[in-house]
Amino acid sequence: MDEVTIGVDPQAAVAEIHTATCYRLGSTPVSPPVRSIPTMTTPTGPVNEPRRLRLPRPGRRWARRLLLLGAAASLILVAALAVGVWMYTQARVDTAGDVAFDQPLHIPPLLEPQTDSDGRAVFDLQLQQGTTELLPGIETATWGANGSHLGPTLRASRGDIVVINVANTLPEATTLHWHGMHLPAAADGNPHQLIPPGETWSPTWTIDQPAATLWYHPHPHGQTADHVYRGVAGLFLLADDQRVEVPDDYGIDDIPVILQDKRFNDDGSLDAGDHFLSTVGQLGDEILVNGTYSPYLDVERDLVRLRVLNGSNGRIYNLGFDDDRTFELIATDGGLLEQPVALRRVQLSPGERAEVVVRVDSGERTVLRSNSPDIGLDFVQRRFSGGDDRFDLLELRAADNLAESPPVPNRLVSEELPDSAEADTTRTFELSGRSRINGEKMDMSRIDTVVAVDTTEIWEVTNRSGNPHNFHIHDVQFRILNLDGNTPPPHLEGPKDTVFIPPRSTGRVAVRFADYTNPDVPYMYHCHILIHEDAGMMGQFTVVEPDEIDQESRQTPTDPRHDHDG
Ligand SMILES: [Cu+2]
């Protein structure tokens, strides 16, 4: 993709500063115009001849001041330039080849549900605070679910009725959102389902979508970045009855890979501050995988399935292996592809998932690496937004005697993706700056879009800004129709709930809104770069019966948070 240069051309700007500096360093500042001095004469002729060319005292003072001023300005410019160069150099993080891989990868435990008298699968999650040894030997204050950091993996199958008791023992109100899940709006866990401290929220719904790697995370309005960064997140794996022979032994050859970047203060606490030049907010210089620092995984079978989640607030990863081996992409956000796609790289923006199957040979080691991602920025913004960073993430250590796995089939599933031929409505969403969609910031009391149930629409999302954004829609899995007019590459043809929209580009997706209506409780669509979402780059839509669409209110009913969002 062509790089897009935004606003001031930084190369030109640097050249300009450079020229200005050289000029000031190399030349004498211009003196003020010399006033003509009346010549003092005596009858015998002019006296003080040598003094005639000298300036009077005020002029000399000015010249000296200007000289000093020029020198000071030059010094300041040189210093600023040096600081700029230093900042630019410091901003790049590259851990490729430098990670020890000395900690076994933590596998989030599976949370076993209880079956209640109605046959429903009941899960208990307790959001809590605590401390966690994220860096070796250092305790860090963190949040988690059923533990001090991250949360267990939930699993359910198509047709299951689930009940999830979310008990909030955190000191702040929060929510828990089921990212990628098709479900009633009131069960969505979006900003409208705030759980006050000490209370329990128990949404229930029927799982009715294909097998997929979904996840859960807090979604309180304006505080999502903070709550996710502190550590509340986990996977929600769905199964269905399509028999696909891919590795599926959880923790053995079916491995969760939750990628999150963190920055630590000297005392071990999490540093949530962001660099003022970053377009994506906070970026960490350490990558934890499932909360593990410097992780390795012992592999006992020759095919390994990695379910990778970009669970970071703003960092974009461009995944591959250190030896550039190919792997097979088998699933995206909402489930399996029709057929595997052989790739060397797959890029994930925050919230996106990719399931890959990689083959290893007996006794070898290979490293999952994030190479510099293509985020569509010029060389200055790219540097401060993680676009030049590389990270070694996870070492796979193959056993000397690997068990043989059946090969990945050439055909996986028949996808259930929306058909754009059925769409008769096209909506446009323009992302501008870092906080607006169609010119407006998120308002909890405003319904931006009302959709008729059981219809398919085309949503056209344009990033008008110079910042990277992505676009996530609650409740649905969509089909990417095109990106800037081009058919999506094979690895973006599968079910998606989040799509990366680089600066000055447009993505068109087909979305079907099925099953659930509620004129009072909205779903969200938003940028999943959390600092943008929190700043207001989010809108609300309701799904209603077709005959209700015209009289639908564009206000949410009384909402306890109106006061904060007016
Ligand atoms: Cu964004």
- Contact (CB, 8 A) for 376 and 218: no
Backbone region of residue 440 per phi and psi (left: phi > 0; alpha: psi in -120 to 50; beta: other values): beta
Distance (Å) from CA 470 to ligand 1 centroid: 6
- Each residue of 312-336: pLDDT tens digit? 999 999 999 999 999 999 999 999 9
Chain segment 164-183, per-residue pLDDT in tens? 999 999 999 999 999 999 99
Q: What's the 497 CA to ligand 1 centre distance in angstroms?
A: 15
- How far away, in angstroms, is 442 Cα from ligand 1 center? 13
Q: Residue 225 C-alpha to ligand 1 middle, in angstroms? A: 12
Q: Ligand 1 centre from 530 Cα, in Å?
A: 7
Rounded to whole angstroms, the Cα distance separating 506 from 486 reads 10
Q: Compute, in angstroms, the gap from residue 185 CA to the centroid of ligand 1.
A: 23
Is the model's pLDDT at 113 over the cut of 50? yes
Q: Is residue 47 over pLDDT 50?
A: no
* Prediction pTM value: 0.86
CA of 505 to the centre of ligand 1 (A): 13
CA of residue 467 to ligand 1 center, whole Å:
7
What is the CATH number assigned to the segment(s) 420-565? 2.60.40.420
529 CA distance to ligand 1 middle (Å):
5
Reported as a pLDDT band with limits 50, 70 and 90, residue 274 is: confident
Q: How far is the CA of 350 from the centre of ligand 1 (A)?
A: 10
Q: How far is the CA of 332 from the centre of ligand 1 (A)?
A: 20
- Mean pLDDT (the chain) is 89
Please compute Rg for the chain using Cα positions: 29
Q: What pLDDT sits at residue 566?
A: 33
pLDDT for residue 31 is more than 60: no
What is the per-residue pLDDT for 551? Answer: 67
Secondary element (H or E) of residue 477: none
Closest CA to 418 of 460, 479, 475: 479
In this predicted structure, what is the pLDDT of residue 555?
73
Alpha-carbon torsion, ordered 252, 255, 261, 263, to 10 deg: -20
Which amino acid would we find at residue 533?
Answer: E
Q: Specify whether the CB–CB gap between 503 and 377 falls below 8 A.
A: yes
Q: Answer whether residue 347 shows pLDDT above 90.
A: yes
**Domain positions in the chain:** 7-28+52-90, 420-565
Cα 469 to middle of ligand 1, angstroms = 3
**Residue 273 binned pLDDT confidence (cut-offs 50, 70, 90):** confident
Cα angle for residues 226, 230, 231 (degrees, 5° grid): 125
Where does the pLDDT of residue 55 fall: very low under 50, low under 70, confident under 90, or very high at 90 and above? low
Q: Confidence band (pLDDT; 50, 70, 90) for 4?
A: very low
* Top-confidence residue, 11 or 112: 112
Residue 38 Cα to ligand 1 middle (Å): 69
Q: Could you tell me how far CA 51 lies from the centroid of its own chain? A: 72
479-532 per-position pLDDT tens digit: 999 999 999 999 999 999 999 999 999 999 999 999 999 999 999 999 999 999
**481, containing H or E segment:** strand 479-483
Distance 235 CA to ligand 1 centre (A): 23
If DSSP codes are grouped into helix, strand and coil, which group holds residue 363? coil
